[in-house]
Amino acid sequence: MRSHLKYDILRSVEFAVLTAFFGFVPVLFFLLITMVIASALFGTKALGPWTLLSFVPAIAIDVLLLKKWVKGAYQMSGKALASVYLFYSIIGLGMCMGIPLVSFTLGIVAGLYAGRRMQLAQAESQTRTKYFKKTAFFSAAVMALMCCLITLWAIVGGLVGSDIETPILSFTMTLRVFAAITLTGGAIIVTLQYLVTSLAAKLMSTLLSASRGAQNVSRTQETFGNDKKNKKYCNLFIVLTPIL
């Protein structure tokens, strides 16, 4: 009974995450496009009304396609998923002022997704391992790209040659110091991203395999999109989008 309850909770969380993951794509896309165009044509003072109008096409797309996206979440092509992953990473980098926090979190989500997808497909151990490595490598590659963008951002912003003052120490950011910090920090973050994504995939696969509820997981694949939770969360997301 407890195992079944835990599985239902995990399934609810799964639907909520998938709904948010796919649902916010058109919302953020049209919001970004609208802000850029409105700012260029009318200035920043006109952003308010135009921002609200950007929700119209976004909600329309979610009404038409969100349930379909959630239904086919585990059959979706790698290119489509990679595009969404990269989109969120770049948007998140800007929102977090150059800190790749969103990209790092996405790596964990990608690992969990990989574990779930391989479990649904009842893939063999060798296939799972290969897919997990591929997912971890991709998340690490995106993190490396984010590090390159941060480096470029720092150079354009005039960080090199500036004086850095902290409560602990003060120093001048010379080119050598900048290169050392960038290369060392980048290598650590990229390696950590790979390890965390790989660990998340293995953990999800292990938890699902050990769960009693997982015995019926493969059966849910065919009716995944017809589940009432799918419609419930999709409709809830569409209603709450303008409020959020």
pLDDT tens profile 127-158? 999 999 999 999 999 999 999 999 998 888 88
Other beta carbons within 10 angstroms of residue 108's beta carbon come to 17
> Sorting pLDDT into bands at 50, 70 and 90, what band is 26?
very high
Per-domain residue ranges of the chain: 1-71+222-244, 77-210
161: left (phi over 0), alpha (psi -120 to 50) or beta: left
How many residues belong to the chain?
A: 244
The token duo for 18 is 């998938």
Q: Inform me whether the pLDDT recorded for 187 exceeds 70.
A: yes
pLDDT at 194 over 80: yes
Position 42 scores a pLDDT of 76
Query: What's residue 244's pLDDT?
Result: 53
Gap between the Cα atoms of 238 and 24, Å rounded:
10
Alpha-carbon gap, residue 227 to 235, rounded angstroms:
13
User: Which of 148, 122, 117, 147 has its CA nearest to residue 135?
Assistant: 117
Q: How far apart are CA 61 and CA 56, in angstroms?
A: 9
- What amino acid is encoded at 170 in this protein? S
Phi, psi of 99 (to 5 degrees): -100, 120
DSSP secondary structure code for residue 46 in this structure: G
What per-residue confidence (pLDDT) applies to 243?
56
Give pLDDT tens digits for 66-123: 999 998 999 999 999 999 999 999 999 988 888 899 999 999 999 999 999 998 888 8
Structure tokens belonging to residue 24: 């916010």
Task: Please state the pTM of the whole predicted model.
Answer: 0.84
Instruction: Identify the pLDDT of residue 30.
Output: 93
Mean pLDDT, range 205-230, rounded to an integer: 57
Q: Return the pLDDT at 154.
A: 85
